[in-house]
Structure 1
Amino acid sequence: MDKNVKIAILVFSIAVVLTLGYYISGSQLPSQDSSEGIDYSTITCTLETEPQFTPANAWTGWSVRELVDNRMVEFTDFLEFVPRVSLSEGTSSGFLHAEDWPTEMGIAPKCTLAGSAVFFENKDTGRGMYYPVVAGNRGAIKRQDIELPAGDVYFAHYVIPVKNATWEVTENLANSNGTDFLRSGGISERRRTQLTGACTCPVEAVIAQLDEAIKAKGFEEVTLEKKPAENEYFRPLSAKLYRRGDDYLYVEFAKVKDMDLVRVLMIMGDEEVVKAYAEAFTAGSVEG
Structure 2
Amino acid sequence: MAGKRFILGVFVFLFSLAILVHIVPRGNFECKLSMSNFSTDCLSSIPYSPSWPTTAVRITRDNFVFFSEEYVYKVGTNEVISIFFDGEKSNWTKELDISPQCAIWGEERRVTLPRDTNRLRHSIKYKHGSCLGENSRPEEVNLGSVKALSGSLEIAYYFIPLDKGCWVFWPEPVFGGEIEPRRIEASCSCSLERILENIGRDIERLNFTAVEDFGKWQKGPVEVVFSRLYTRNDEYLYIECEKIKGLGLARILMVKGSKNVVLPYPTLLVEKNQRKSED
Within the candidate set 209, 214, 234, 1:220 is matched to: 209
Q: How far off is 1:66 after superposition?
A: 0.4
C-alpha separation in 2, matches of 1:86 and 1:253: 30
Which residue is 2:29 aligned to? Answer: 45
Structure 1 residue runs without a partner (length 5+):
1-41, 88-94, 175-185
Q: How far off is 1:267 after superposition?
A: 0.9
Aligned partners of 1:66 and 1:166 also within 8 Å = yes
Superposition pairs of residues 75-90 of structure 1, within 5 angstroms: 75-81=67-73, 83=75
Deviates more, 1:75-84 or 1:206-215: 75-84
Q: How far off is 1:149 after superposition?
A: 0.9
Aligned-partner SS, 1:160: strand
Which residue is 1:35 aligned to? Answer: none
Superposition pairs of residues 1-288 of structure 1, within 5 angstroms: 43-51=27-35, 61-68=53-60, 70-81=62-73, 83=75, 96-126=87-117, 127-136=119-128, 137-143=138-144, 146-174=146-174, 186-197=175-186, 199-224=188-213, 226-280=214-268, 285-287=272-274
Aligned-partner SS, 2:263: helix
Aligned partners of 1:102 and 1:117 also within 8 Å = yes
Structure with more helix by fraction: 2
C-alpha separation in 2, matches of 1:59 and 1:252: 24
Aligned-partner SS, 1:47: coil
Residue type matched to 1:286 in 2? N
Aligned-partner SS, 2:151: coil
Residue type matched to 2:185 in 1? T
C-alpha separation in 1, matches of 2:99 and 2:147: 28
Aligned partners of 2:115 and 2:149 also within 8 Å = yes
Residue type matched to 1:203 in 2? L
Residue type matched to 2:241 in 1? F
C-alpha offsets along residues 231-259 of structure 1, whole Å, 9 cap, x if unaligned?
21222221111111111111011111222
Task: Report the TM-score when normalising by structure 2.
Answer: 0.68
Aligned partners of 2:227 and 2:266 also within 8 Å = no
Q: How far off is 1:63 after superposition?
A: 1.2
Identity, in percent, stands at 18
Aligned partners of 1:251 and 1:264 also within 8 Å = yes
Structure 2 residue runs without a partner (length 5+):
1-25, 38-49, 80-85, 129-137
Aligned partners of 1:131 and 1:138 also within 8 Å = no
Q: CA 1:135 to 1:198, structure 2 compared with 1: closer, same or farther past 3 Å?
A: farther
C-alpha offsets along residues 18-49 of structure 1, whole Å, 9 cap, x if unaligned?
xxxxxxxxxxxxxxxxxxxxxxxx82511322
Max Rg structure:
1
Aligned-partner SS, 1:263: strand
Deviates more, 1:228-237 or 1:153-162: 228-237
C-alpha separation in 2, matches of 1:134 and 1:263: 14
C-alpha separation in 1, matches of 2:71 and 2:160: 18
Instruction: Let me know the Cα RMSD of the aligned residues.
Output: 3.1
Residue type matched to 1:64 in 2? A
